[in-house]
Structure 1
Amino acid sequence: MPKPTPVEDLIIPPQDQKICGTICVCQMTAVLSAVAIVYLTVAIYMPYTRAIASGIDPTPIMCTTTRAVNKENCDWGSCGEWCLSKTSGACIQIYVNVRKNGSSLLLAECGSAANKTCYGIDQENAKKYHCIRDECRNLTGTFNCTEGKCINITDAFECAFRETDPPLKCSGRRGKITCIDVHGLFSCNRGTCRKIRTPYNCDRRCVDIPTRNKNVIVLSGDRVFLARCAKLAQEDGGNIVWTDSGEEVLMLSCHAVHNGTSGVVAVDCINAALLPRADIADLTNFTYLQYLYTMRATPNRLIAPSEVELTLANDSRLMINLEGCVNTLADECKEFLKDYGRDGTDHNAKARFPCFYTENNPDTVVARFDLDATFRQFLVALVLPTVLVVVSCITLLLCQKTVEVGDDAKMRFKGCASGQAEMQMHPNDPVSPL
């Protein structure tokens, strides 16, 4: 067996790897931070300056979606997934009615509360009949069609109409060609469909709403809240605006209803109306309840103001933020357009939500505006990459001044040169055997 070779004493200090690693990390940090600053200029810095100069009131008001329009060539869009390409190609434009906030009411001494949710048609998950595939040949009932794709709404809605267009025969040899681009509301019988002309009225089939012993009915989108309450008061101030007399039923339209510390709180209530108790039975349906609310009940502006007197602007443009786009690339716009684009064309409740506007320009409103959060994002996005760039550059400058490369191609600090000289082997020192 050969004799093992002993490990020689290191003449050069083991600094090369650490110095090289430090320089590489600092260079990478400086480059990535500089790239981040360029990206954040578009994503954070410029939106912050626009938010400061916009003059938008940070107090939210209320918006109601009136229509959502698909456009092929857009000069503006409600939401774009990437700000650099937000105005190119097709987009969706959402228009809203803008109004002041309604009353926030406290429903006191309530009992026998009930909730009823009247679901319409889920457009995303509902079965669609594609006429181009000859799936419309046996349609029977009421169908809501969009560019040749039809959804059965017979079980969810009751539609009243008078006039229809001439019939289209979706069955037979040429049926799929005849109905390839049907659009609108159709009444069909075994594949023969007639387009329903306006005006027509489609109300949700929501039955067995328990109105017995209820004197307060709150309509909130697709939800109906019913209870027997002794009085209603303003949430701020506590002024009583209505007391139960035993002869009337109070009906309201509110944005939301939730439980508070002092009772049930109804937020953003408008269009208060009083209905004689004799006009409503123990059970009713959503269609008849809407009829009573709009046609039979007597408005009372002292309890909650009407929507007309609160309106600030009609048909204003809605954008997700001041830029009308997001840079997260996380499909935010898909969810935004789904929630805020509900304009009632599918016969469901229209979207109703808080929004923000400029007093001297109510023609454009935004759904997201938080000046404090925008400032915090700006501060973090400015300080963090800037500090990283500065620290990395200072470290690289120090390395340039304090590190040298020797004849052996190794890097070491200049202060270690004298130590290295002392560590050089003397000519008379013994040499380790091989």
Structure 2
Amino acid sequence: MAKRPVKKPEYPEESRICGLIFIFQLIAVLSAVSIVYLTVASYVPSIKAIASTYEEFPVICTTTLADDSVENCTWLSCFEWCLTKSSGLCMQIWVSVRQNGTELAFDQCQNQVEKSCTTEDLIPTHRHLCRKDQCENLLGLFNCTKGVCVNVTSAMTCNKFTNLGHQISLKQRINCQALDGFYTCTASYCMEILKPYSCDRRCSDMTVHDPQGSQIRNVIVINNDRLVMAGCHGLVSDRPSGEVMWNPASDPGEILLVSCTHVGNGSPDGQLLAVDCVNASLVQANYLKDNFSLPTLMSAYQNSIINRRLPSAPQNNRQVPLENELTIYNRSKLLVNLEFCVNTLRDECREFFAIHGRDGRDLRSPARFPCYYAPDKNDSVISKFNRNKVIFDFALSAAVPGVLFVFSCSCLVLCTRIVGIGPDAHMQIMGFRRTAELKMEASNVEAELLPNDSSNRNGKKHSSQQRPDG
């Protein structure tokens, strides 16, 4: 059966004109709505960020206290400090703020070994939720927070408990939900490990000597819960300037201990590069016996910071700074950004708290990360700030809908000038002709449509012609 031919529009020009006017009106409405939305979502926050006094170069923040629940928390303060959607509790992170440390280059490093002490890989990601009856059969060492317990047996060792609390039965849900602290658990019973803790991070069997007893490693870089040990025979110098900070040949019986935020291999010839280094000190090699543990190392490190700090460089008396010499603010609230949180629905606040909320209360190293501060505002710092990106986003979000709105409105105004109703009562493009010409053309068309005699359009004569004279 043959298809019926598609009927063409009787007035195609009018259809095109109506379609264009509809498109221009749609663009005008959508761009106006987007401008209204972006005023709240982009323009106001961008202007606030551009006018802020936050420094553009990041400094270092160290988490000192992370509270996952705040008493008397109103909805507004919960939104301000990131709301936990699952539990309805506020999350606050307090940090200390300091300037960046020194960048160091360690040359000719051999016998390099790395030791991870309580890293994320050693701690299971599974959380036992006591409110869901997941804490009845705990076995081992657990770190609990408001009834949420994590098994840290693989990351910590507690050979001797000096002070334990009373025994708690986990068969009752109300007891499970009250767990808060470190507990040693067996079957359906737990006992709290009271402060001071007698537990150590599971990090031992470290050595700086070879089997013959000779010193083979003279540099130990502490990188959060990671230790990098190597025997460096070259100079330790400042990366930007190349100034020599330490010559291992001048102190053959000592070990350099330094804390750095990042450390990695700089070249194939055994160079180590470390960023943000502080608290450099020298420790006698005989203090670190074979198979020493992390508490032994940290005890020697803390004592050496006070008693045997790394001497100044002979060229310009420059030293690797101590952390307290770089401190800007001792205690400030950490915010995600200038808007205090994020306005998406991806639950980013929970992820933010998981990364930045490690404060060292579980015997791990506290979180250390870049942040931004304002010299005239010490009550808060932010973790995300880029003024150049804010300016670019503001210009882009203002230009695109603004240009579309002006363009569409201009086209609509232009349509009112060049589109009109033709003699056949349909829209058509008439151009920029004068109104008088259009009226004259309409009058001529109307005259042509009238009959030549004196009768009206219905073919009837006027009344004056129907009646005879006098």
Q: Which amino acid aligns with 1:75?
A: S
Q: Aligned partners of 1:122 and 1:6: how far apart in 2?
A: 71
Instruction: Using the TM superposition, give the Cα deviation of residue 38 of structure 1 relative to its aligned residue in structure 2, in angstroms.
Output: 1.6
Q: Aligned partner of 2:144: which letter? A: C
Supply the distance in 2 between the matched residues of 1:331 and 1:278 (Cα, whole angstroms).
51
1:181 is aligned, of 160, 174, 178, to 178
Superposition deviation, residue 199 in structure 1: 1.9
For 1:122 and 1:112, how far apart are their aligned partners in 2?
24
Deviation at 1:329, TM superposition (A): 3.5
CA distance in 2, matches of 1:304, 1:227: 19
1:205-256 per-residue CA deviation (whole Å, 9 max, x = no partner) reads 1344464422111111122222222221111211111111321111111111
Aligned with residue 343 of structure 1, among 353, 356, 359? 359
- Partner of 1:165, secondary structure, is strand
Deviation at 1:26, TM superposition (A): 1.6
Alpha-carbon spacing, 1:6–1:381, altered in 2? closer, same or farther (3 Å): closer
Equivalent position of 1:162 in the other structure: 162
- 1:299 and 2:309 are equivalent in the alignment: yes
- Please tell me whether Structure 1 or Structure 2 has the larger radius of gyration of its CA atoms: 2
Structure 1 partner of 2:63: 65
Match of 1:250 in 2: 256
Q: Select which of 229, 235, 241 maps to 1:237.
A: 241
Greater relative contact order structure (CA < 8 Å, 6+ sep): 1
- Is the 2:169–2:175 Cα contact (8 Å) retained in structure 1? yes
The 2-side partners of 1:210 and 1:121 are apart by 23
Q: Choose from 371, 374, 381 the match for 1:365.
A: 381
1:430 match: none
Aligned mates of 1:78, 1:6 — CA distance in 2: 65
Question: Which residue of the other structure, out of 205, 213, 222, is the alignment partner of 1:219?
Answer: 222
1:340–1:351 CA contact under 8 A, matched in 2: yes
Looking at structure 1, the residues matched to 123 and 21 of structure 2 have their Cα atoms a distance apart, in angstroms, of 54
User: Which among 24, 33, 36 is matched to residue 34 of structure 2?
Assistant: 36
Aligned to 1:387: 403
Residues 124, 253 of structure 1: alpha-carbon distance in 2 compared, 3 angstrom cutoff: closer
Asked if structure 2 preserves the Cα contact closer than 8 Å seen for 1:68 and 1:342, the reply is yes
**8 Å Cα contact 1:161-1:199 kept in structure 2:** no
Counterpart in 2 of 1:108?
107
In structure 2, the CA distance between the partners of 1:395 and 1:286, relative to structure 1 (3 Å rule), is same
Q: Give yes or no for contact 2:208–2:290 (8 Å, CA) kept in 1.
A: yes
Asked if structure 2 preserves the Cα contact closer than 8 Å seen for 1:77 and 1:319, the reply is no
Superposition deviation, residue 44 in structure 1: 2.1
Partners of 1:189 and 1:7 in 2: CA distance: 83
**Partner secondary structure for residue 235 of structure 2:** strand
How much does 1:316 deviate?
0.4
Distance 1:258 1:114 in 2: 12
User: Which letter maps to 1:183?
Assistant: D
Secondary structure in 2 matching 1:57: coil
CA-based RMSD: 3.5
Deviation (angstroms), 1:43: 2.3
* Distance of 1:253 and 1:78 partners within structure 2: 34
1:318 aligns with 2:318: no
Deviation at 1:357, TM superposition (A): 1.0
Identity of aligned residues (%): 38
Distance change (3 Å), C-alpha of 1:129 and 1:326 = closer
Cα distance in structure 2, aligned partners of 1:11 and 1:132: 69
Q: Aligned-pair distance for 1:293?
A: 2.2
Q: Does residue 289 of structure 1 match 2:297? A: yes
Shift in alpha-carbon separation, 1:281–1:180, aligned structure 2, 3 A: same
Taking the aligned partners of 2:54 and 2:5, their CA distance within structure 1 comes to 78
In structure 2, the residue corresponding to 1:395 is in which secondary structure?
helix
Q: Displacement, 1:94?
A: 1.0
- 8 Å CA contact 1:217, 1:250 repeated in 2: yes
Count of residues in correspondence between the two structures:
409
Q: Deviations for 1:258-307, whole angstroms, at most 9, x for unmatched residues?
A: 34469422111111121111222454443443333234663336442211
What residue is the counterpart of 1:27 in the other structure?
25
- How far apart in 1 are the matches of 2:187 and 2:78? 43
- The gaps in structure 1 that reach 5 residues or longer are 422-434
How far off is 1:324 after superposition? 0.9
1:327-385 superposed Cα distances (whole Å, 9 cap, x missing partner): 34343333222211222234332111111111122221111111111111111111111
**Aligned counterpart for 1:198 among listed residues 195, 199, 204:** 195
Equivalent residues of 1:94, 1:317 under 8 A apart: yes
Mind listing any 5+ residue stretches in structure 2 that lack a counterpart? 210-215, 313-318, 446-470
Structure 1 residues 59, 13: closer, same or farther in 2, change over 3 A? Answer: same
Give, in whole Å, the separation in 1 of the partners of 2:96 and 2:23: 54
| Counterpart residue type for residue 202 of structure 2 | R
Aligned twin of 1:118? 117
| TM-score, structure 1 as length reference | 0.83
Instruction: Specify the SS of the correspondent of 2:390.
Output: helix
